[in-house]
Amino acid sequence: MPLQVAYFSRMFQAVPQLMEVQKQAGGCFVSNRASTLAAARRLYPEVPMRQYRRWLGPLCAGRQVLADADVIVTGAPGYKVLSRFPARSCMVFHGTYMFLNRKALSQMRHFDLLCSIGPRMQRTIERYQDEFDLNCVQTGYLPFGNFPETTPEWRTRTLSGMGLDAGLPTLVYMPWGKPHGSWEAAAARILNETSDRYNLILRPHPSQGLTARRADRAGFRKLSAQCALRRNTLLDISVQPMEHLFALADLMITDGTSPAEESMFYDTPQLFVRTPHWMPERIRGYARDSDMDVEDMERYMTLFDCGATFDTQSHRPFTDAVDEALQSAGSYRQARHDYFSWVFGQRDRLAGQRVYQALQGLAAPESGHSHQVPDGHA
């Protein structure tokens, strides 16, 4: 009988990873958040999806999908939901988990399988593997499986479809969410100070874009009106596939988010935005407070050696920083290569196949790994 795989996530951020496994294993996606389902249906209309409403009990279609599954694959700990079903459980990490630490891993001990994205994560998990009885396999980074092969024809077609000029270099800005992100400090300035010699795509973090609060929505309306005054500008509220933005970017602008790491798949030049809320001293303090391993923290800080930096407290026009970042991109190429290798290892699109193979092994009768209840959940 074929392996019955279901996928669960409350957060939209995990959906692209789950869909890469779904390509290989099939199965239905379930979420208990309507906005996540709406965004997922828009991007993956071919995938069956159901909503999970616990209060409906046996009448809930999403509940039945999870109850019938052999394995449930998710992108966050989710113990409260997963513990209600007999299926084996597998964690595929959404994003690159640059601040993964002991506390986070202690909350994952109930999983039957963790799929690490590369050497950095594998090393972190191995530090605590015996303590928490973690079953882990290094499968690679799932979203790479959907990263397009870029051609001039594809680029022209895709940029034109977004209303942008295929003849111009494209800048993509993808910051952290609150409270550390640079959106409030930098988005309007980037928009107003970037030369029209460039396409500009502004994409807020999903925690602000998809689950926007009143203040966020008001800010987006104001920024959208400003975008309308600048040619070749797109304010993207999680509409475009992220992998398309990575493939289109001639310069990736972040404050040190996982998109900086992910875009290095294409060896994309980087520009980092520094704010008073997210600068080296603050980052190290956050990492210490998160109980992040010191060695991992210092290696993470080398991300900022992979491109130029723009400080929002400076009076320098942002477009000058863009020009410099592009002109100096070649001098950072080795740093980008070394950093990518540390985080991801191989540069391929096969992680979905590796995860599916691991799921088949997990569901085999001889597989002996069983759930452990995290502290505080007994």
Amino acid at 332: Y
CA distances from 59 to 32, 66, 345 (A): 15, 13, 45
Superfamily of domain covering 148-344: CDP-glycerol glycerophosphotransferase, C-terminal domain (3.40.50.12580)
What tokens were used for 131?
């303590």
End-to-end CA distance of the chain: 33
CB 201 within 8 A of CB 165: no
* Comma-separated ranges of CATH 3.40.50.12580 domains in the chain: 148-344
- What are the tens digits of pLDDT across the range 80-133? 999 999 999 999 998 898 889 999 999 999 999 999 999 999 999 999 999 999
pTM, whole model, 2 decimals?
Answer: 0.86
The pLDDT of residue 57 is above 70? yes
Residue 139's H or E segment, with its range, is none
Residues of the chain with pLDDT > 70, as a percent, come to 95
CB 8 within 8 A of CB 52: yes
Please give the sequence-ordered ranges of beta strands (E in DSSP) within the chain, or none if there are none. Answer: 5-8, 28-31, 49-51, 71-74, 88-92, 113-116, 136-138, 170-173, 199-202, 233-235, 251-254, 270-274, 307-311
In this prediction, residue 258 carries a pLDDT of: 92
Instruction: Report the mean per-residue pLDDT for the chain.
Output: 92
Cα separation of 19 and 142, whole Å?
Answer: 9
Omega cis (within 30) before 276: no
The pLDDT of residue 376 is above 50? no
CB 12 within 8 A of CB 206: yes
* Comma-separated ranges of CATH 3.40.50.2000 domains in the chain: 5-145+349-363
- What are the tens digits of pLDDT across the range 127-185? 999 999 999 999 999 999 999 999 999 999 999 999 999 999 999 999 998 888 899 99
- What are the tens digits of pLDDT across the range 261-303? 999 999 999 999 999 988 888 898 988 888 888 889 999 999 9
Res. 211 pLDDT band, cuts 50 70 90: low
In this structure, is the dihedral angle defined by the CA atoms of residues 309, 299, 248 and 182, taken in order, positive or negative?
negative
In this prediction, residue 371 carries a pLDDT of: 45
Res. 367 pLDDT band, cuts 50 70 90: low
SS3 28: strand
Fold of 5-145+349-363: Rossmann fold (3.40.50)
Q: Count other Cβ atoms within 10 Å, centred on residue 175.
A: 28
In this prediction, residue 366 carries a pLDDT of: 60
Cα separation of 298 and 305, whole Å?
Answer: 12
Beta-carbon contacts of 126 under 8 Å, excluding residues fewer than 6 positions away, are 136
In this prediction, residue 62 carries a pLDDT of: 95
